Amino acid sequence: MIGHGAIWKSREAIFRTPGCIGASRILLEKLWAGMGQTIPFACQDWASTKAAYRFLSNDRVSEHDILSGHFAASAARFAAAAGPILVLQDTTTFSYQREHPELVGYTGASTTRDRFNKSSVLTQCGILMHSSLVVTADGLPLGLAAVKFWTRKQFKGCSELKRHINPTRVPIEQKESWRWLENMRQSTTLLGEPIRCVHIGDRESDIYELFYTAHDREGDEAKSRSRGCIASRFATIRAVR
Residue 49 is part of a domain; what is its CATH number? Answer: 1.10.246
Residue 32's domain spans which residues?
Answer: 1-61
Q: Same domain, yes or no, for 138 and 222?
A: yes
| Tens of each residue's pLDDT in the chain, 241 residues | 455 556 566 667 666 655 566 677 788 788 888 888 888 998 888 988 998 888 888 887 788 888 888 899 999 999 999 999 999 999 998 888 888 888 888 887 777 777 777 776 677 888 899 999 999 999 999 999 999 998 887 655 555 556 666 666 777 777 888 899 999 999 999 999 888 999 998 888 888 888 888 877 665 444 433 333 334 345 544 444 4
Task: Report if residue 45 sits inside a domain.
Answer: yes
Q: Same domain, yes or no, for 151 and 228?
A: yes
Give the N- to C-terminal CA distance of the chain in Å, as an integer: 40
Rounded to 10 degrees, the C-alpha dihedral 85/189/179/153 comes to 130
Task: Report if residue 117 sits inside a domain.
Answer: no
Whole-angstrom distance, CA of residue 185 vs CA of residue 172: 15
State the Cα angle at 235 between 174 and 195, rounded to 5°: 95
Q: Same domain, yes or no, for 21 and 89?
A: no
- How many domains are contained in the chain? 2
| Long-range CB contacts (within 8 A, 24+) of 7-12 | 11/69, 11/73, 12/69, 12/70, 12/72, 12/73
